[in-house]
Chains A and B, each alone.
Chain A
Amino acid sequence: MTTTRTRRADLFEGYAGLSGAFDELFDADGRPRREAARVVSLLNRMGPAEFRARKRISDLMFRDAGVTFSVYSDGRGVERIFPFDPIPRVIGAGAWARLARGLEQRLTALNLYLADIYGPQRILKEKLIPRGMLEASKGYLPQMRGIAPPGGVYVHVAGIDLIRGGDGEFVVLEDNLRTPSGISYVLENRAVMKRVYPHIFRKASVQPVDEYPTRLREALESLAPADPADRDAPRTVVLTPGPYNSAYFEHCFLARRMGVELVEAGDLVVREDKVYVKTTRGLARVHVIYRRIDDAYIDPEVFRPDSLLGVPGLVRAYRAGTVTLANAIGNGAADDKAIYPFVHDMIRFYLAEEPILQQVGTWICDRPDECSYVLANLRSLVVKSVDEAGGYGMLMGPQATKRELEEFTRKIKAHPRGFIAQPRIELSTCPTLIGNEVRPRRVDFRPYVVTGRSTWIVPGGLTRTALRRGSYVVNSSQGGGSKDTWVLGGEDA
């Protein structure tokens, strides 16, 4: 470093990671990692004052664009801005290629698993997964047996939650195979980064994520039912629960970027086992529905007769093969937290391959011996309710109070099927702008996998970051933020 440079402080000057945690940009000796070196030097060259000034511009851009999610307190949704941290996470081309292969393998197996349990149920007959385990899953919908979705695709869009342990290896924490959200933030974060830090961006050779909406539309329409009578076929819509849903911003964003219409359940009707949308000139046929409504609310004829949200008859149309639903109904049977421990077995069973991606060792409280281990070691474990998401219904053993530990002991004993336990994994950290300082904050990662006639993985994903010191909780509903994820192009793939 030259003397003129040191007169102005570097952005990362004095930055130190957390001991025991893998840092995304710096190694244990405080040197930039090889894949991140260029980005770190570009950021350093800008200087902290300039960087912070630009951060304020990005905050305004998010506010004006109304990039929000809704939080519910006392029954009223409040729109909040998803806090954004402008220091990117960097993933080298080689690490990405390995990760992408692992994701594709995992999704292929999960999709085959769904086709199996809603079809011949070989995996149950071979006793790899106990029948009771499947049938106890809330996400398993026996009404769906015997319905083959177009192309055999169940999981059109998957969001796989990953973390990086102390050794830097990616580990699957959770599969989201129903209506994973967050992709809009990936695209918005990228758009803002490009506008606020164009000169850095230009030199960093980052792989683009912008094609996601068109790739998704192509994938879904490749599976559309044929309708030669309709000039406008296939007509694709995005189905939203409405403006009060926490992910409504994303539903709008996707419809707009895919160039399709956003509909609510009330806009759709089923006649003679075909789905129609109400237009200003009467009814028009719909062929593909990217639905962001939960299974339970999708069709009151089949699931919740009390629901006003759904489209009566939609499942009839689906069964008749006149409409493609993405994702398929009943995927919850595969991303259940109690089914998660079996995914490696699925990969071996269906693909006869060894799993590429690691996953976290899990104790299933439904098994008596594992349950007693969990109860005896509660203080060192993370306990999760299998039916809840968003960081709710979770016990962080090492940080829990005595009362919380007692409460969970009681809950687990009362309903062992409802819980799993995992060792606490050290989440990796990434430098994050906190006030005027750059500090290590823990992050996770959610890449998105799109499957139509073939599978495509967007080179990037959602990096969520805890903003509180020492926190492991990255969920937006609980004060987490996000940052852009830069997958670099290059030769070392």
Chain B
Amino acid sequence: MIARVAQACFWLHRYLERTENAARLLQVNQHVSLDLELDDAELWQPVLDVSGEEALFTSLYGREIEGEEVQEFMTWDERNPVSLVRSLHHARDNARTIRETISLEMWQALNSLWLWLTSKEGRKLYERERHLFYERVKTGCQLFHGLYHTTMLFDEPYDFMRIGSLFERADQTMRLLGATWDATATPARRIARPTDAPRWLAALRSLSGVEPFTKRTRGTLVGPAVAAFLLYDDRYPRAVHHCMLRAALFVDRARGGESSEAGARTRAMLEGLLARLRTSDIEAVIERGLPLELAELMAEMARLSDTLREEFFDVTDALPRAG
């Protein structure tokens, strides 16, 4: 397929995944305050940590962290590169450049969501019934996802969309894991605080992971158990390991089979990442420092993304070989 179009497929789904994840995180964080006695800063700091845009927030809204301001920043602020509205804007812009590739229903679902979000209706629901507002954003994204599985040709554009979703999902899981880890167990104090379990519960909830966690681990809700689950589980759809396993499948399809020469470096890097995820031991990782492990994994993911771009999107001018 056309390289530029493949790139837009990839980014469309990355941005849409990011939109949905922002809605999930903000929706769940609302409710953490019902279970916990936390002040605004304690409650909303982790959300800024996940976004990676705390410095921008501080420069725009000041040092003091107020819940309403964080939500405004993360939902509506177009100046914030990872705000919900900006992510959806990017998703729609990418979709607009490949309207002939995505199905009509996908475009309509995305366009309706965008029109609603940016209308008075969207803002009104946000003011009046915030939980429902985020629910509406989530279901809008989910409708799009459902349609893409049921209306797209099972072909190259589909593959790049899947890869985009999976990369973004793995990235988000790691960000959330890191932020929750920071907000709970500090290296100096390994004994759990009473707020820790509710925080882990909230983290899992925003990843739709509470029940899968219970089924897969039967463990108690403590940091190491959740970390192991979110990183290494091979069946939970938002675990990094699972995301990379699926990504490998779609990268192979996009390459035109396992033995194809196209995208060989991408495939090799992915294999390396998978080996690391398959063989890591959570106790040892925590001993060395979970934040360090996450930083390395995320750097690895970034390199993987770059390599994918070089191999599939930045096409050289070499003529095809005869035959």
Residue of A nearest to B112 (CB): A64
- B104 contacts which chain A residues (CB < 8 A)? 65, 256
Do residues B315 and A261 form an inter-chain contact, with CB atoms below 8 A?
A: no
List residues of chain A with CB within 8 A of the CB of B1.
261, 279-280
Q: 1/0 per position for A217-251, CB-CB distance to B under 8 A? A: 00000000000010000000010001100001101
Task: Kindly list chain A residues whose C-beta atoms are within 8 Å of the C-beta of B313.
Answer: 280
Interface residues of A in 265-294 (CB under 8 A from B): 266-267, 269, 271-272, 276-285
Q: Which residue of B lies closest to A284 (CB)?
A: B320
For residues 306 through 323 of chain B, which have their beta carbon under 8 Å from a beta carbon of chain A?
A: 312-313, 315-320, 322
The complex places the Cα of A263 from the Cα of B97 at a distance, in Å, of 10
Query: Is the CB–CB distance between A243 and B317 below 8 Å?
Result: no
Inter-chain contact A64/B108, CB cutoff 8 Å: yes
Docked pose: A264 CA to B115 CA in angstroms: 27
- Give bound CA distance, A326 to B302, whole Å: 43
Cβ contact of A283, chosen from B5, B256, B317, B322, cutoff 8 A: B317
Alpha-carbon distance between A242 and B4 when the two chains are bound, in angstroms = 12
Return the contact of A256 from the options B97, B99, B262 (Cβ within 8 A): B99
B4: nearest residue on chain A (CB-CB)? Answer: A267
Interface check A315, CB cutoff 8 A: no
How distant is the Cα of A253 from the Cα of B319 in the complex, in angstroms?
Answer: 30
| Chain B: interface residue total (CB-CB under 8 A) | 33
A63 to chain B, nearest CB (A): 7
- Is A262 interfacial (CB-CB < 8 Å)? yes
B6 CB within 8 Å of chain A: yes
Give every chain B residue within 8 A of A251 (Cβ-Cβ): 100
Question: Size class of A's contact patch?
Answer: 20 to 34
B127 CB to closest chain A CB (Å) equals 24
Judged by a CB distance under 8 angstroms, whether A66 is at the interface is yes
The complex places the Cα of A269 from the Cα of B111 at a distance, in Å, of 33
Closest to B111 in A: A66
> What chain B residues lie within 8 Å of A276 (beta carbons)?
319-320
- Which one of A65, A253, A267, A280 lies within 8 Å of B156 (CB-CB)? A280
A255 at interface by CB-CB < 8 Å: yes
Q: A263-B2, A279-B2, A280-B254 are in contact. Are A271 and B317 (CB under 8 A)?
A: yes
Q: Check B131 for interface membership: any CB of A closer than 8 A.
A: no
Choose one: A243, A267, A283; the contact of B319 (CB below 8 Å).
Answer: A283
Flag if A266 contacts B108 (CB, 8 Å).
no
Known: A278-B3, A279-B3, A283-B319. A262 touches B108 (CB 8 A): no
**What chain B residues lie within 8 Å of A280 (beta carbons)?**
1-3, 6, 156, 160, 254, 262, 312-313, 315
From A271, which residue of chain B is reached at the shortest CB distance?
Answer: B319
Q: Does A252 sit within 8 A of B, measured CB to CB?
A: yes
Q: Is B246 in the interface zone, CB < 8 Å from A?
A: no
Partner of A65, one of B97, B108, B318, B320: B108
Min CB distance A241 to B, Å, is 12
Contacts of B73 in A (CB 8 A): none
Interchain CB contact under 8 A, A252 and B318: no
Q: In the complex, which residues 279-323 of chain B have their Cβ closer than 8 Å to any Cβ of chain A?
A: 312-313, 315-320, 322
Whole-angstrom distance between the alpha carbons of A269 and B316 in the complex?
10
Contact, CB under 8 Å: A255 / B4:
no
Q: Is the CB of B2 within 8 A of A278?
A: yes
B residues within 8 A CB of A277?
2
A256–B2 touching, CB < 8 Å: no
User: Shortest Cβ distance from B143 into chain A, in angstroms?
Assistant: 13
A227 to B71, CA, bound (A): 59
Nearest opposing residue in chain A for B96, CB measure:
A243
Instruction: Give the most central of B156, B256, B315: most A CB within 10 Å.
Output: B315
Contact, CB under 8 Å: B262 / A283 = no
Which residues of chain A have C-beta atoms less than 8 A from B4's C-beta? Answer: 264, 266-267, 278
CB <8 Å contact, A255 and B100: yes
A13–chain B nearest beta-carbon distance, Å: 36
The residues of A that contact B57 with a CB separation of less than 8 Å are none
Contact A279/B317 with A243-B97, A255-B100, A256-B100 known, Cβ cut-off 8 Å: no
**What residues of A have a CB within 8 angstroms of the CB of B148 in the complex?**
none
In whole angstroms, what is the CA distance A284 to B2 when docked? 9
Least CB distance from A388 to B in Å reads 28
Pairwise interchain contact A261-B5, C-beta atoms closer than 8 A: yes
Knowing A64-B108, A281-B262 touch, does A261 contact B2 (C-beta < 8 A)? yes
The B99-121 residues at the A interface (CB cut-off 8 A) are 99-101, 104, 107-108, 111-112, 115
| Nearest chain B CB to A301 CB, angstrom units | 16
Are A267 and B320 interface neighbours, CB within 8 A?
Answer: no
- Using known A-B contacts A63-B115, A267-B3, A280-B312, determine if residue A252 contacts B320 with beta carbons closer than 8 Å: no
Shortest CB-to-CB span from B262 to chain A, Å, is 5
C-alpha spacing A242/B97, complex, angstroms: 7
A residues near B156, Cβ cutoff 8 Å:
280
Given contacts A65-B104, A252-B99, A281-B256, contact A267 B2 (CB under 8 A): yes
Return B101 CB to nearest CB of chain A, in Å.
Answer: 8
> Residue of B at shortest CB range from A278?
B315
Which residue of A has the minimal Cβ distance to B109? A64
In the assembled complex, the CB of B105 is this many whole angstroms from the nearest CB of chain A, namely 10
Cα(A281)–Cα(B261), bound, Å: 9
Indicate whether A283 sits within 8 Å of B3 (C-beta atoms), given known contacts A252-B100, A256-B99: no
CB distance from A194 to the nearest CB of B (A): 15
**Closest B residue to A66 using CB positions:** B111
Asked if B315 contacts A279 (CB within 8 A), the reply is: yes
Nearest CB in chain B: distance from A438 CB, A = 29
Q: Residues 47-67 of chain A: 1 if any B CB is under 8 Å from the residue's CB, otherwise 0?
A: 000000000000000011110
Q: Report A's interface with B, CB cutoff 8 A.
A: 63-66, 229, 238, 242-243, 248-249, 251-253, 255-256, 261-264, 266-267, 269, 271-272, 276-285
Give the 4 A-B CB pairs with smallest separation, nearest first: A278-B315, A252-B99, A255-B100, A256-B100
Known: A66-B108, A280-B312, A283-B318. 11 other contacts (CB 8 A): A64-B111, A64-B115, A229-B322, A238-B100, A251-B100, A256-B99, A261-B2, A280-B254, A281-B256, A283-B317, A283-B320
On B, residues with C-beta under 8 Å from A are 1-6, 93, 96-101, 104, 107-108, 111-112, 115, 156, 160, 254, 256, 262, 312-313, 315-320, 322
Q: List 18 A-B contacts (CB under 8 A).
A: A64-B115, A66-B99, A66-B111, A238-B100, A243-B97, A252-B100, A253-B99, A255-B100, A261-B5, A264-B4, A269-B317, A276-B319, A276-B320, A279-B2, A280-B2, A280-B3, A280-B254, A280-B312
